[in-house]
């Protein structure tokens, strides 16, 4: 876990802190000296957990991708709106991460167990990268070189191609 960098009265709000990456992030911030409730105006940090799914349509996971796109868009908008206020907003956009959610998904879909280990993030590393990005005041953090490359490729490629590739990968993974 990260060393303490916050003052005893620093405050952080983390959405999705009940389990998985969010719970590990909450532990990081608590260990860093942060109170985990945003109660005062003028200082604090907001960390929203989105996904690399936010950057592209994913057929067969349309609602998930659209929801994460909303979280990313909201975070980016708030980050800009709050610039100079003392409150920063960060969207953490991990890829596939070794959490209980992945374990349940793998039970339901054996194809996920075939993912190469280098494509699966360690929850502690993802949380540490999210923590560091939030402390720096970054608007967006995509942990992992492969995840960042996939986001950049999705932004550069024609939309029709991104949809087709996403659909083909989802079907191959057993989504339909």
Does any domain span residue 5?
no
pTM (two decimals)? 0.72
Does any domain span residue 4?
no
Of the residues 34, 64, 70, 131, only one is catalytic, namely 64
The mean pLDDT value of the chain amounts to: 81
Does any domain span residue 119?
yes
When mean pLDDT is compared across 57-71, 94-108, 131-145, the lowest value belongs to 94-108
Residue with more model confidence, 5 or 25: 25
Q: What share of the chain is helix, strand, coil (3-state, %, to 5)?
A: 55, 15, 35
34 given a catalytic annotation:
no
| pLDDT tens track for 13-51 | 776 666 788 888 888 888 888 887 563 446 788 999 999
Element (H, E) at 98: strand 97-98
* Predicted local distance difference test score (pLDDT) of residue 130: 94
Which domain CATH number covers 145? Answer: 3.40.50.720
* Predicted local distance difference test score (pLDDT) of residue 161: 94
């Amino acid at each position: 876990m990260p060393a303490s960098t916050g003052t005893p009265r620093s405050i952080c709000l983390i959405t999705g802190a009940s389990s998985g990456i969010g719970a590990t992030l909450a532990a990081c911030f608590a260990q860093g000296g942060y109170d985990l409730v945003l109660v005062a105006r003028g200082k604090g940090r907001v960390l929203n957990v989105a996904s690399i799914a936010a950057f592209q349509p994913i057929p067969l996971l349309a609602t998930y991708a659209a929801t994460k796109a909303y979280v990313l868009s909201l975070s980016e908008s708030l980050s800009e709106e709050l610039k100079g206020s003392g409150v920063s907003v960060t969207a953490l956009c991990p890829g596939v991460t070794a959490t209980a959610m992945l374990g349940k998904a793998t039970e339901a879909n054996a194809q996920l167990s075939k993912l190469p280990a280098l494509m699966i993030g360690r929850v502690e590393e993802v949380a540490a990268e999210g923590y560091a990005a939030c402390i720096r005041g970054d608007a967006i953090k995509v942990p992992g070189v492969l995840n960042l490359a996939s986001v950049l490729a999705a932004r550069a490629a024609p939309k029709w191609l991104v949809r087709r590739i996403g659909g083909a990968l989802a079907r191959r993974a057993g989504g339909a």
